[in-house]
Amino acid sequence: MKSSSFEIQRAPTPEKAVLVGHAGRDKAHIERTLDELALLTDTAGARVVDRLVQRQGRIDPATFLGKGKVADLKAVCEQRDADVAIFDDDLSPAQVRNLEKTLNVKVIDRSELILDIFARRARTRESRLQVELAQLEYTLPRLMGMWTHLERQAGGIGSRGPGETQLETDRRLVRDRIAKLKEALRAVERERETQRSKRRREFRVALVGYTNAGKSTLFNALSKSDAFVEDRLFATLDSTTRQMVSPERDRVLLTDTVGFIRKLPHHLVASFHSTLVEAIEADLQLHVTDAADPDFHRHLIAVDEVLDRILGDDRPARRMVFNKADQLTDEQILALRAEFPDAILVSARTGDGVEALRNELFRLSAERREQRAG
Ligand SMILES: Nc1nc2c(ncn2[C@@H]2O[C@H](COP(=O)(O)OP(=O)(O)OP(=O)(O)O)[C@@H](O)[C@H]2O)c(=O)[nH]1
Ligand SMILES: [Mg+2]
């Protein structure tokens, strides 16, 4: 088969990436933050060849890093033959431009990296529309910057004319496309709304939590199904709903949703709103956390922040579920129980505690039915 050998030949060698962080006020966590960035980079298909951290000083409005660090970074990029520098923080369009000019490599910020991963992962029509919308909203201001930059490079009187025209055309094209995407998404959302109103009588439970916490694994264990699980970030982009049925024929609707992460780009939160509404509409949120992750406290905060951004004060009842109990020492389990006395501890992988959680969900469902009846 010609086409497949062609594909093999063209299989891209992974881009070589240097990760860049600014410790700022968060000095204690910068290494773990970069570990997470490394995982994101890997998920996006690039290979991390080095890291560089600025530990002191302010953020430079023109180049993000201070002058000395920019020079260091340039040296590292050359030494490692890097293709791309990936910054853990969001950069302004001007910062990207200035850095690319000096470094001679592609410069990507955290939002762009996450958007890229979402674009690779989007499978359904809805999530594709959502990601494209978020990407265009992200690109629009940068597009303008880019053209200004080109105009300046061309320089001089007379070079502005065509540049302006091109810029206007591009902006209009992007805006038109954004309007079309929004319209298409509204239609999908109306469909969803119809589906949802049919479900309103049932007891609905949504799994929410940080990416890679094990939500889909738990979803499978609870509903005895097989949603996509992977040891990578953002394995799940679309929400899936399954029915759990007890031996007494009690029913619970369980929804698996997209995972959250620190500094989730706000364009993504906005365009994934309809997906996230699934979590909003539940009677109960199970907040799933990887208790074996040394950073889990910060994950809890990040998830709360995203939920607050989407839900405001309108949050449904919530229970904490600590997952990956199989990876915890006895001391860690004791400490968790002391700090979160109401939390449920499970291992979605070994099945420990899963049956108890199922029973608890059926109990809550029955309780609510009685409340409604009485
Ligand atoms: N050791 C251990 N690993 C687990 C457990 N539950 C899930 N995992 C692993 O954790 C990784 C992430 O699991 P997923 O279920 O895909 O996590 P998720 O929260 O759905 O992730 P996203 O969809 O990316 O948000 C996989 O490698 C799982 O096999 C558990 O109880 N113990
Ligand atoms: Mg998942």
Question: HEC profile for 203-231?
Answer: CEEEEEEECCCCHHHHHHHHHCCCCCCCC
Average pLDDT over every residue of 106-111: 93
Band of pLDDT at residue 226, cut at 50, 70 and 90: low
- Which of these three, 184, 210, 229, is where a domain ends? 184
Residues 137 and 53 in one domain: no
Evaluate whether residue 190 is within a structural domain.
no
Q: Please name the residue that has the structure tokens 């949050």.
A: 315
Residues 161 and 265 in one domain: no
Which residue has better confidence, 41 or 224? 41
Band of pLDDT at residue 73, cut at 50, 70 and 90: very high
Total Cβ atoms within 10 A of residue 231? 7
Give residue-wise pLDDT tens across range 22-46: 987 677 788 888 999 999 999 899 9
Band of pLDDT at residue 151, cut at 50, 70 and 90: very low
Asked if residue 126 has pLDDT above 90, the reply is: no
Evaluate whether residue 341 is within a structural domain.
yes
Evaluate whether residue 239 is within a structural domain.
yes
- The predicted structure's pLDDT at residue 297: 96
Q: Please name the residue that has the structure tokens 């679309």.
A: 238
For β-strands 240-245 and 251-256, DSSP reports them as antiparallel
Evaluate whether residue 117 is within a structural domain.
no
What CATH number is associated with residue 42?
3.40.50.11060
Q: How many domains does the chain have?
A: 3
Ligand 1 site-directed mutation target among 118, 120, 212, most atoms within 8 Å of CB:
212
Asked if residue 2 has pLDDT above 50, the reply is: no
Asked if residue 159 has pLDDT above 50, the reply is: no
Task: Say what percent of the chain tops pLDDT 70.
Answer: 85
Residues 175 and 298 in one domain: no
Q: Measured between alpha carbons, how far is 358 from 341 in angstroms, rounded to an integer?
A: 19
287 Cβ below 6 A of ligand 1:
no
Residues 216 and 145 in one domain: no
Band of pLDDT at residue 56, cut at 50, 70 and 90: confident
Ligand 1 site-directed mutation target among 211, 222, 229, 299, most atoms within 8 Å of CB:
229
Ligand 1 centroid–CA 178 distance in Å is 34
Average pLDDT, the chain: 85
37 Cβ below 6 A of ligand 1:
no
353 Cβ below 6 A of ligand 1:
no
Q: Measured between alpha carbons, how far is 84 from 139 in angstroms, rounded to an integer?
A: 18
Residues 205 and 97 in one domain: no
For β-strands 204-209 and 240-245, DSSP reports them as unpaired
192 Cβ below 6 A of ligand 1:
no
Q: Measured between alpha carbons, how far is 56 from 217 in angstroms, rounded to an integer?
A: 41
Evaluate whether residue 136 is within a structural domain.
yes
pTM exceeds 0.75 for this model: yes
Which residue has better confidence, 8 or 20? 20
Evaluate whether residue 223 is within a structural domain.
yes
Band of pLDDT at residue 155, cut at 50, 70 and 90: very low
Band of pLDDT at residue 312, cut at 50, 70 and 90: confident
Which residue has better confidence, 309 or 88? 88
Asked if residue 148 has pLDDT above 90, the reply is: no
Give residue-wise pLDDT tens across range 166-217: 677 788 888 999 999 999 999 888 887 777 777 667 899 999 999 999 999 9
Residues 270 and 335 in one domain: yes
- Bridge partners of residue 17, in order along the sequence: 48, 84
Domain of residue 100: give its range.
Answer: 14-108
What CATH number is associated with residue 272?
3.40.50.300
Low-confidence winner among 10-19, 98-107, 267-276 (lowest mean pLDDT): 267-276
Low-confidence winner among 4-8, 16-20, 57-61, 176-180 (lowest mean pLDDT): 4-8
- The predicted structure's pLDDT at residue 164: 54
Closest atom of ligand 1 relative to the 327 alpha carbon: 1
Band of pLDDT at residue 335, cut at 50, 70 and 90: very high
Band of pLDDT at residue 356, cut at 50, 70 and 90: very high
Asked if residue 160 has pLDDT above 60, the reply is: no
Residues 205 and 289 in one domain: yes
Q: Pick from 326, 143, 123: which is nearest to 234 by CA?
A: 123
Residues 129 and 58 in one domain: no
Evaluate whether residue 138 is within a structural domain.
yes
Residues 333 and 363 in one domain: yes
Q: Measured between alpha carbons, how far is 221 from 226 in angstroms, rounded to an integer?
A: 8
Closest ligand (CA of 235): 1
Q: Pick from 305, 233, 207: which is nearest to 262 by CA?
A: 305
Residues 147 and 209 in one domain: no
- Which of these three, 82, 108, 134, is where a domain ends? 108
Residues 224 and 141 in one domain: no
Asked if residue 327 has pLDDT above 60, the reply is: yes
- The predicted structure's pLDDT at residue 248: 80
214 Cβ below 6 A of ligand 1:
yes
231 Cβ below 6 A of ligand 1:
yes
Checking phi first, is residue 24 left (phi over 0); if not, alpha (psi -120 to 50) or beta?
A: left
Q: Measured between alpha carbons, how far is 102 from 74 in angstroms, rounded to an integer?
A: 8
Question: From start to end of the chain, where are the E strands?
Answer: 16-22, 47-54, 84-87, 106-108, 204-209, 240-245, 251-256, 284-290, 317-323, 344-345
Band of pLDDT at residue 154, cut at 50, 70 and 90: very low
Most confident of the following: 80-84, 159-163, 301-305: 80-84
- Which of these three, 53, 75, 108, is where a domain ends? 108
Band of pLDDT at residue 163, cut at 50, 70 and 90: low
- The predicted structure's pLDDT at residue 233: 67
Evaluate whether residue 162 is within a structural domain.
yes
- The predicted structure's pLDDT at residue 165: 65
Residues 161 and 228 in one domain: no
